[in-house]
Structure formats: structure tokens, C-alpha cells
Amino acid sequence: MITLDTIRKRFGALDVLQDVSLALRTGAVTALVGPNGSGKTTLIKIVLGLTRADHGALHVDGKPADEAGAYRRAIGYMPQAAHFPVNLRVGDVLDLVQQLRPGEAVDDDLARAYDMDGIRDKFVGTLSGGTKQKVNAVVAFMFRPSLLILDEPTAGLDPLSANVLKEKIRAVRREGRSVLITSHIMTELESLADDVAFLCDGRLRFAGPVAELLSHTGGRSLEDAIAGLMRSDRAGRRAAVPASGAVPLSPWLAPEPKGAV
Amino acid sequence: MNVVSLVLQAGLRDLSRNRWIVAYTISFLGIAEGLFWFGGTGPQVLLSMLNLVLLVLPLVALVFGTIHVYASREFVELLLAQPVPRRELFAGLYLGLALPLAGAFLVGAGIPFIVHARHGATIGGVVALLGAGVGLSLAFAAIATWIALFTDDRLKGVGLALGAWLAAAVIYDGLVLGAAAAFGNYPLERPLLGLMLANPVDVARVIVLTQLDVSALMGYTGALFERTFGTALGTGIAAAALVTWCVIPLGLAGRRFLRRDF
């Protein structure tokens, strides 16, 4: 279980994240959505320890995230685009990541599904964008961490490969592990996500189950609901109403009391 | 295997296949071999190579190093997302850049001197040239790493790298010469020696020239130069200055890597 407690981050004069508190449910797929520049990537980077929050706390399985980064054993990460060194072979990349995480249980389902053995000797620089994205996915799913963070995971994948990946995400959820996923393809998220966290202008406008969002906004689909949220957010800003009051947070997403696991 | 050696190995694999590094190696090999081929004796080739090393090596280490660090940015982020300490990752990434650069120079410039050992270059001179070249590679790779971590603007970073090269390899000597001319009525010998140690390119020049018995060619400060650096202690001081030129930028780059947001 990963919890973020009143996370704040400012870059210069820009408040990128403002008091974001979020708890990712165990065994659920949470879709992190929001317009461009809403703070999604910064939030993901804070969870990964790539960016440090100015304020707030990150807890992994009840313990504060350590500076040395050992807590990242609980996390698998798939960035939006794969940029591996072009002169390394696919096998070099896979072996490197595997050796950086010794002793972790290996999950080779996706590697087999994407036939990594067939391209192990190929140089990364010779791969197509889609094949690089498959390697990217295999790296993220190589172990069995309790949380997978997937940033636009199907971007660049052909329909069959995207389908394989989505099936793998569902399998991860069935195993009781959590997934945090971002995508601009709402239909894709709708087919995968149990919960939604909607960020806008660095504030968490909604966080809760998809069904709750649909009933709250009256939307027929996730796309409708998110579009409705964005419209109400814009209208709220035009009317100079404090945007934080746009949609209430679900009770289960309130910051946990100190000392609670 | 620890994180440093794993990341270093990946860097070595990547850059040993990099076409620019291969071309860099072949260029040194071709030029040194060509100088021997056209009748140069060992000391003449050594002096010609010294001028090349002092000009080209900082340029390649700075520009290639800066571009390489920028190009590795997303891969570094992926590695940082693994459960590994930043300090070890930084050490592996720096060595993965600096050692291939130094190795390319060692192979390219070293092989011709081994092949033509009978042409009279002293072992001390060859070792000084190769050692100074390795030192310059490590120092300017550290400066390049620091520049690339200092600013996210790639154009600005490459501009800073070129500026650093111009300052160290071209402008600095002009300024020192100007100062010597302007303050010619004052006893400038010791301040000038201090200024030499403040520039890694000059330090590398000093290390090699002390081994070649041509320091008298340096004119104005020649006598003092020879007296001060023409000893084991003098060479040691110059070598220590070059090591310092590796350690300080590396420390600054490491500090930046540990603290910055990616």
C-alpha cells in the first residue's frame, strides 16, 4: 500500500502539486488523469523518488520511504517512452535491470509473450518504436513488485501487443498487486481502472472508484465524467470559486492518521 | 556485483560501440602513426601529439560528454527508479563515460608509440603524455557531467561546454600572456606558475614538457619552470593539480546529482 500525505511541490513560482493526499488501494488499478501540465508526471516522479517533495510524506507499506531508495523494491516503473542506450543489446538492458535487483522474484510472463528471446541479441538502436516500448514494458513487469507505475503504457504498441499488456495488467490486479496508470485514452482506462485520481492545476479534484465518479458527475462513460470535471473546473476558475471545492474527495482517500498503517 | 560496476559495464559496452568513440580512437591512431610514418623521431611525434592532445582532448571530452549525459537522461531516470542508491549510480555513470574516453585515447595514442618504441621516445615522455591525456579525459568528463547536470537546457549546456573549452584551451593562455606583458615590471614568476596550476590544460602541458627536456623553449618563465617542475616533486605537484581538477568538478557534479530533481 502506498500513501501520499499532503504532498506539495513548487518549481520556481509554479505550484505544481498542492497538498495532494492519495492512498493507492491494494489490488486495484488506479487511473491518474488530468490535463497536460496538471502535475501527473511530477506526482509519479515523487513516488519514484526522482523528484523530492517540498512538503509531505510518502509511505510504502506503512513505512516512510527511505532516502537510499530501498523502498523502490516495491515498485516497477514503465516510463512513457523507452530511451535505452542505442549501442546496448536488448539482452544487456534486461540483464542490467535484473542484476540491479538481485534476489527479487522474476516474472517472465511478458518477456515470453513478447518473445524477448528472439530479440535479445539485437541492438536497441535498431528496434522500432513499438518494439522498444515492448522492452520498456518487459523491464517494468520483470519482477513482482506490489505497485506498478505505468505512464502511457500502450503508446506506440500495436493492437495485439497492447491487448497482451492490458491482460497482464488485469493479471497483476488479480494477484492482489496495485497499478497506477496514466493515459489520455479514456476508453482504455475505463476497461482497466477500478479507481480514478483526477489532478488539475496541481490539486487532486477527485479520487475514488470509477462508479462513484460516474454517479457524481452523471457521466455515461469515464471520458464523459472526466470531461465534465474539466469543464466544471474551468467554469469554477472563471467564476473565481476556489477550485478545491469542485468535487469532494472520497473518505477512503483522506490522509491517514499519524502512526496508522 | 555492485551497482557501480554494473552501470560501468553497461557504459563501457555502450560507448565502446559508439561510432564517435571508435572514430576518435582511429583518429589518434592514424595521426600518431602518420607522424611516425613521415619520419618524425619519437620526441618530435611526442611534441606534436602533445599539442593535439591539449587542444582536441578537452574539446571531445566536454562536447561529447555533455551530449552523452543529456542523451542518457531518460535511461538514468529509469535506473533511478530501481532500488539503487543515487551515489553508486552516479559513480557508475561517470566512470561509464570517462573510462571509455580515456581508454579510446590510450589505445589510439599508445599503440603507435609501442610499435615505434625503437624511434627514440623516452618511456618517461610517453608515460607522461598518456598519463596527462587520461587525466585530461577524466577531468573534462567530470566538467561535462557537471555542466549537463547544472542546466536542463541542452543548447545552453553544449554552449557552456564549448565556452569551457575555449576558456581552458585558448583564451586562458592569452590572458596569462596579457597579464605577463601588462605587469612585466613586477616579479611574476611565482604567480604565473600558480596560474598554470589553475588550468588543467596547462597542468597537462607541464607534466609532459618536464619529461621532454624542452622546457627552455618556453622562454620567459622557462628557467623558473624547469627549476620548479623539472624534478620528481614538481611533476608530482602538477599531477596532484590534475587529480584535483578531476576531483573538484566530480564532487560538484556528484553533489548536484544527489540533490537535483529528475
Query: How many domains, chain B?
Result: 1
State how far the Cα of A203 lies from the Cα of A20, in Å rounded to an integer.
6
According to the model, what pLDDT value does residue B229 have? 67
Cβ within 8 Å, pair A51-B1: no
Query: How many domains, chain A?
Result: 1
According to the model, what pLDDT value does residue B151 have? 94
* CA–centroid distance for B162 within its chain: 14
- The burial of A124, by beta-carbon neighbours within 10 Å (0-12 exposed, 13-18 middle, 19 or more buried), is given as buried
For chain B positions 10-29, those within 8 Å of chain A (CB to CB) are 10, 13-18
CATH number at residue A49: 3.40.50.300
The ipTM is 0.84
Of A75, A79, A87, which has the smallest distance from its Cβ to B78's Cβ?
A79
Q: Which of A178-182, A191-195, A228-232, A245-249 has the lowest mean pLDDT?
A: A245-249
Q: Do residues A84 and A124 make contact, with C-beta atoms less than 8 angstroms apart?
A: yes
Task: Find the Cα–Cα–Cα–Cα dihedral B107, B112, B116, B122, rounded to 10°.
Answer: -60
Task: State which residues form the domain around A67.
Answer: 2-253
pTM recorded for the entire structure:
0.88
According to the model, what pLDDT value does residue B215 have? 60
Of B10, B15, B261, which has the smallest distance from its Cβ to A50's Cβ?
B261
DSSP state of A197: E
* CA–centroid distance for A162 within its chain: 17
A33, part of any domain: yes
Nearest CA in chain B to A136: B78
- Residue ranges, chain B, pLDDT below 70: 213-226, 229-231
According to the model, what pLDDT value does residue B153 have? 95
A167, part of any domain: yes
Q: Does B197 touch chain A (CB under 8 A)?
A: no
pLDDT in tens, A170-182: 999 999 999 999 9
Q: Kindly list the residues from chain B whose CB atom is less than 8 angstroms away from the CB atom of residue A48.
A: 80-81
Task: State which residues form the domain around B111.
Answer: 3-259
